Amino acid sequence: MRRLAIGAAALLAVSTVTVPTADAASGPDLAKLVTVKDVRKHLEAFQEISDYNGGNRQSGRPGYDISVKYVVSQLKKAGFTPQVQSFPFWVFDQLGPGAFEQVAPTKVAYKAGTEYGTYEYSGNGDVTAAVTPVDLDGDQGPAGSSGCEASDFAGFPKGNIALIRRGTCVFGDKVKNATDAGASGVVIYQRTGADVPNDEPAVYGLSEPAPFPVLGTTYKIGSSLVAAAKAGTLRLRLKAETRNTAKPTYNVIADTKQGRADNVVVVGAHLDSVHDGPGINDNGSGSAAILAIAQKVGKLGKKNIKNKVRFAWWGAEEAGLLGSYHYVGSLSAAERAKIALNLNYDMLGSPNYVRFVYDGDDSMGSGTNPPAGSGAIEKTFVDYLAKRGLKSAPTAFDGRSDYGPFIEQGIPAGGLFSGAEGIKTAAEAKIYGGKAGQPYDPCYHASCDTLKNISWTGLDQLTDAAAFATQKFAKSTLPVNGEARKARAKSAGAAAPIWKGGMVVR
């Protein structure tokens, strides 16, 4: 989330700036108890698990199942009684490159990998049909909302292929709307924008299997097809060689023995990787950090753990936040009311990192309307880092990681992020070091996301901030929720609707 070799001493070095102690001045400092060496031990384990199990730790595959067993064994050694929560899942296999061809008005065969790709959970099939553009009129700006509404498909000819632009809503929504309209296939092309590689095909994933081929292509190719599609002369061939297999996957949940059970602090990270690599930064880094914190949290003692801390390792995040949605959806309204807040850590060791903090107070003006209390969580991280002489920056708080299911239910949330495929600016490079004009994580969702793909300095700093927040909120959640949760739990009515899934990338 790439680089030069780093000496062992440098890997384990800690900042020399003065570190603020936790609010519990009379007790141990969790940020000092948890070291980058502790985190590295778990990352080395995740790497070895991946190396011996197909090169990944994707949900539904052996590398993930063994990662679950590793986390459970480490928690038991630390005195926890972890629970493994099973939920249904689809394992996706791409069996071949498929095909993407323009049949009319001209004949063009596009190249797999560079000009098109197959979506995760695409259906298997070979379709040749006329193409209908979906809500591609007018100036849509950098994103647009093509295919996001059922009304976008008004009058859609049954059996046609839908041409859709990436943007605004999750891919699963676009494909579901196309399915309901009677489409025989979907092509999604890349959107424009400073943070988007326009020369790369928009190939991501869905939350569940589609009934037909779903391919992604570049902005250049997709936009060049629009005129012919509008004229009714465009015919495409889409071929997807895929297999979707039903198989359960898992969350791991572990509570501290101490702390009130009606004011729970949920500390979470997703444990799964994508299929293409071991996911040591995404998200071994977050999973390893909270595992190291869990192993040391008991040293705080009963006086400093007034609120129960619930550590959670989510499955199938990469398939659409499925594990965290399943967990939140499995709770009754009364049980959800007992959750004081959620802290989420998704990528903490990006090699070209920025110390990003989720924008809980919506200071970026994105209009996401975070639940009350989320701004206090953001301020907790920002203030801690500032006291260490470390600058931070807000990042979009738009539900694209496992905090999403919590904020949808009005539960305050926050967390840290070191950057993914976005490009580091010159101003950021001046503050944080690293290379301007390069991705925060050049190995994002790639096979090179290994132990070599970690900034140990950045991981150390963000793990300290995560440990500090855990200790602070374990003792008091007053600035977040006033700690007035008992009455709310008793008065909670019927369960609110739970959104069943979607795609992480928009």
| CA pair distance 340, 481, nearest whole angstrom | 7
Domain ranges (residues) in the chain = 37-89+247-487, 93-245
**Per-residue pLDDT at 11 exceeds 70:** no
Cα dist from 44 to 39, 215, 450, whole Å = 9, 35, 9
Average pLDDT over residues 233-249: 98
> What backbone torsions phi and psi does residue 410 show, to the nearest 5 degrees?
80, 15
Query: How far does Cα 446 stand from its chain's mean position?
Result: 15
Find the helix or strand (DSSP H, E) in which 420 lies: none
pTM for this entry: 0.85
Give the β-pairing of 339-345 and 356-358: unpaired
pLDDT band, very low/low/confident/very high, at 483 (cuts 50, 70, 90): confident
Per-residue pLDDT tens digits for 396-423: 999 989 999 999 999 999 999 999 999 9
Q: What percent of the chain has pLDDT over 90?
A: 83
| pLDDT at res. 7 | 33
| pLDDT at res. 440 | 98
Q: Is the peptide bond before 105 cis (omega within 30 degrees of 0)?
A: yes
- Which tokens sit at 419? 């950057």
**Per-residue pLDDT at 13 exceeds 50:** no
Contact 82, 68 (CB under 8 A): no
Contact 67, 46 (CB under 8 A): yes
User: What is the rounded average pLDDT for all residues in the chain?
Assistant: 90
What does the angle CA 200 – CA 271 – CA 363 come to, to the nearest 5 degrees?
65
Q: Which has the higher per-residue pLDDT, 146 or 207?
A: 146
End-to-end Cα spacing for the chain? 18
pLDDT band, very low/low/confident/very high, at 27 (cuts 50, 70, 90): confident
Sign of CA dihedral 324, 88, 318, 63: positive
DSSP state of 158: T
| pLDDT at res. 150 | 97
- Which tokens sit at 377? 């969580």
pLDDT band, very low/low/confident/very high, at 105 (cuts 50, 70, 90): very high
Per-residue pLDDT tens digits for 269-322: 999 999 999 999 999 999 999 999 999 999 999 999 999 999 999 999 999 899
SS3 250: strand
* Catalytically annotated residues: 317
Q: Which CATH superfamily is domain 37-89+247-487 in?
A: Zn peptidases (3.40.630.10)
Question: Which CATH number among 3.40.50.150, 3.50.30.30, 3.40.50.300, 3.40.50.20 corresponds to the domain 93-245?
Answer: 3.50.30.30
Q: Is the peptide bond before 124 cis (omega within 30 degrees of 0)?
A: no
| pLDDT at res. 225 | 97
Give the β-pairing of 393-395 and 235-240: unpaired
**Per-residue pLDDT at 185 exceeds 80:** yes
**Per-residue pLDDT at 384 exceeds 50:** yes
* The amino acid at 423: I
Find the helix or strand (DSSP H, E) in which 102 lies: strand 99-104
